[in-house]
Amino acid sequence: FKAIGLELPVALTVVANGDMSLQWLGPDEWLLIVPGGQEFAVEQKLREALKDQHIQVVNVSGGQTLLELSGPNVREVLMKSTSYDVHPNNFPVGKAVSTVFAKSQLVIRRSSEDTWELLIRRSFSDYWWLWLQDAAAEYGLSIQA
């Protein structure tokens, strides 16, 4: 992954370089998120750099949606939605986990003190959006593009 300017992250962490991030998903699995429109170029660069190794590069961007939640009450909204402990002592900035959320599966990433990212399967995006609207209603919900 040095070909794209990132080191492999250790367990349950994310490394980032600008708008590009690499997340540990398991002992032999990582998730790379790049800015929209760069997927193919980065995929080709990785394939070329890793061509002599027994590694598979798979573009899953067509089936994923990334939501960013920010604000002082995000942790409370998350606590309503997942049984995973999102307390700062257990979930510091830079941590990422795959967990059950709103009765389904997703990846939660903490990118800054008050900002969290939810990486969800596109087929569940409507369900999660309705869930989040309900969970965040008491805190005030605003949408920014």
Q: What is the mean pLDDT of the chain?
A: 92
Is pTM, for the whole model, over 0.95?
Answer: no
- Whole-number Å distance between alpha carbons of 47 and 58: 10
Looking at domain 63-139, which of 3.40.50.12780, 3.30.1360.120, 3.65.10.10, 3.40.50.300 is its CATH number? 3.30.1360.120
Q: What is the DSSP string of 32-80?
A: EE--TT-HHHHHHHHHHHTTTSS------GGGEEEEEEESTTHHHHHHH
Q: How does pLDDT run across 128-145, given as a tens digit for each residue?
A: 999 999 999 999 888 886
Question: CA of 118: how far to CAs of 16, 48, 105, 129, in Å?
Answer: 16, 30, 10, 11
Report residue 129 as tokens: 């959006």
Q: How does pLDDT run across 94-128, given as a tens digit for each residue?
A: 999 999 999 899 999 999 999 999 999 999 989 99
- Whole-number Å distance between alpha carbons of 71 and 112: 10
pLDDT exceeds 80 at position 73:
yes
Q: Start-end ranges of CATH 3.30.1360.120 in the chain? A: 63-139
CB 27 within 8 A of CB 43: no
Q: Using pLDDT thresholds of 50, 70 and 90, give the confidence band for residue 82.
A: very high
